[in-house]
Structure 1
């Protein structure tokens, strides 16, 4: 019996805290011998994924992001080559050159996961030369790929126009639906409040994911300032956390604004302790405007009504499933009205929560896993034919 094909996955950051990377690796490990070559900052750790061979490369404490990435293109490529994989999957743009060159040197096939619209990043909205550099890198190396993956159909259409000769496939980042990651009853729904000492009679708003510019963190802070006795939980971390904590303290909100970081496998259970999920992405770039954030589906699986941005992908999920309200995130008055309606109109809240639980059944990783496995299977067969 032939041994299973070898897959090498490259990625910047901790897999244990990245739901998409973890799910993809776990799914592929069911059929293949999977290696992950990851780039970690100095002092950053990764708990790993069961059944996956993790090969970490750590940057020095003095490396800035760009320097770290450039070094990984050489060092990460060398480690990736040593796996002698049949297929190399670049889990992001920043490790794409390392994966592409390793594939070229070893005769492996390349797959590129464009997990966001890298050609229009919000973080580079005022840094046009840097954006042009990354656009060049993406075009140069992605054209070698046998397939490009992305997270939703709006971004896929743009990528098909960019990579005309390379097929583009959608693999949504929907949550797991197994019992180990889902809230199972009243006890699970209290773990968030217990951990943060939030009284049972207080309402809780939650904002999951990275605390970064354009993700609505300060909009959420202004919102909770206008709501009496309502708590706000940021379930995640990021570069704006320090500034956000300072603002909360300065505004007298420190006792009602909480910060917590979880492994990706625990997020839905903790989210279930809130009353409303906030998905207030700001229109700072085309990448954000067309985004379909993980948090939206975490809220569904936690059974939460949602108030989110009136952007194409987010609006479609909210309105098709009657989860709450899609609105312009910078319209503070409309946002306050939408949240107050959910907090004070209990029957309406109950209907939206039930709709969320029902919608969660169709937004699960199981279907996406099948699509991913079929795609990689085709690439492996073509490479070995």
Structure 2
């Protein structure tokens, strides 16, 4: 049985993309190990059809944290038999590069995003220089890889002449029934990170007659909570923190509308194709979304969202109020979501994933 090893830097229970990928490969007959970090207070691992390993690190923030995790990952992999290794984003790529060289096994790069173009990297010149050096050193040496949309794949080819496959991060197609929705709450799900436009989304809620429920955590969490206090919205903006995928699906199904907002402060956000966009779609949930190329392309085909051209509070509020009050628009978008999920789902993307690994192993 061929053994595939993957690694991320986050908490394994909440990484829906990796859960889908590893489950599909395990069901296809591969032995699969997914490695992540164990944080203080991490809940017990949810049993899966693949092996899971969490590495404990003494340091939890800053450059030393990444260095420690990468060293621990390298030495763990050194004594682990594998037939191929797959780095998830740039922050796990170095250990996999050196291990694949030492063991003469295939290496794969799974690029969820343009790592060096994230706001928290771009806006910190010293951090940007470090990660850009890592990217320039490693990515050209990872001839096998895949990413989440065509624009990011084209950018990798432009920069490093690597031809990466596109495997979109979309949910598994499950039967659903749209429930009665006594409360018209707006949902944000995903990382509460810099660049997600909380600076304008939160004040926009003063003009919207609904609650905003935020399910997630991240590097902008404290700032977002402070914004809520400053705008006197503590009863209107609710933070739920991280929620396990099964429970999160219920929050999504019960919501009235979703939001997918990214600041246009770098290629990563401009070419993004957020997980939440498809999670809302699969729950039959119309959404407010930025009018960036990947979202516009899908919306032109399926008409599932209200697209906005800027992130001003009044623009966001106007879009959300349309979803709350325009019944004809809402019903059309909801029905289009239910149709689109039949064409855009993991059962279709899974075929590309399995063909990819079949070709390199």
Place the TM-score, normalised by the shorter chain, in its bin. over 0.9
Corresponding position of 2:172: 176
Contact 2:93/2:138 (8 A) holds in 1: yes
Is the 8 Å Cα contact of residues 280 and 329 (structure 1) preserved in structure 2? no
In 1: Cα distance, 2:260 partner to 2:310 partner: 9
Contact in 2 for aligned 1:88/1:99 (Cα 8 Å): yes
What TM-score do you get using the length of structure 2 for normalisation? Answer: 0.93
Q: Unmatched 5+ residue regions in structure 1?
A: 191-199, 381-385
Q: 1:46 to 1:135 in 2, by over 3 A?
A: farther
Matched, 1:87 2:84: yes
Aligned to 1:143, what secondary structure does the other structure show?
A: helix
Q: CA deviation at 1:173?
A: 0.3
Please, what TM-score do these two structures have when normalized by structure 1? Answer: 0.88
Question: Mapping of 1:65-104 within 5 angstroms?
Answer: 65-104=62-101
Instruction: Give the aligned partner of residue 40 of structure 1.
Output: 38
Give the alignment of 1:239-278 within 5 angstroms: 239-260=219-240, 261-278=242-259
Is the 1:290–1:313 contact (alpha carbons within 8 Å) kept by the matching residues of 2?
yes
Distance in 2, matches of 1:139 and 1:27, equals 31
Please tell me whether residue 58 in structure 1 is matched to residue 56 in structure 2. Answer: yes
Q: Is the 8 A contact 1:321 1:356 kept in 2?
A: yes
Gaps of 5+ in 2: none
Alignment partners' CA distance in 2, 1:323 and 1:289: 19
Give the CA RMSD over aligned residues: 1.9
Give the 5 Å matches for 1:159-170. 159-164=156-161, 166-170=162-166
Say if 1:44 and 1:67 are closer, same or farther in 2 by CA, change over 3 A: farther
* Cross-structure match for 1:27: 24
- How does 1:214-363 map onto structure 2 within 5 Å? 214-228=195-209, 230-260=210-240, 261-363=242-344
Cα drift, residue 45 of structure 1: 4.5
Aligned-pair CA distance for 1:137: 0.9
In structure 2, the partner of 1:383 is none
Seen in structure 2, the aligned counterparts of structure 1 residues 34 and 177 have a Cα distance that, compared at 3 Å, is same
Q: Give CA deviations for 1:266-324 in whole Å, capped at 9, x if unaligned.
A: 33332111111111111121100110001111110111112111111122223331123
Q: Is residue 78–residue 102 contact of structure 1 (8 Å, CA) maintained in 2?
A: no
Per-residue displacement from partner, 1:86-122 (whole Å, max 9, x unpaired)? 0001112111111111111122110011110123221
**Residue 134 (str. 1) matches residue 131 (str. 2):** yes
**1:195-219 alpha-carbon deviations (Å, 9 max, x no partner):** xxxxx2x421111111111112232
Instruction: Give, in whole Å, the separation in 1 of the partners of 2:49 and 2:323.
Output: 43
Structure-2 separation of matches of 1:352 and 1:117: 30
SS of residue paired to 2:141: coil
Residues 127 and 250 (structure 1 numbering): CA distance in 2 closer, same or farther, change over 3 Å? closer
Provide the rounded CA distance (Å) in 1 between the counterparts of 2:325 and 2:125.
46
- How many residue pairs match? The answer is 359
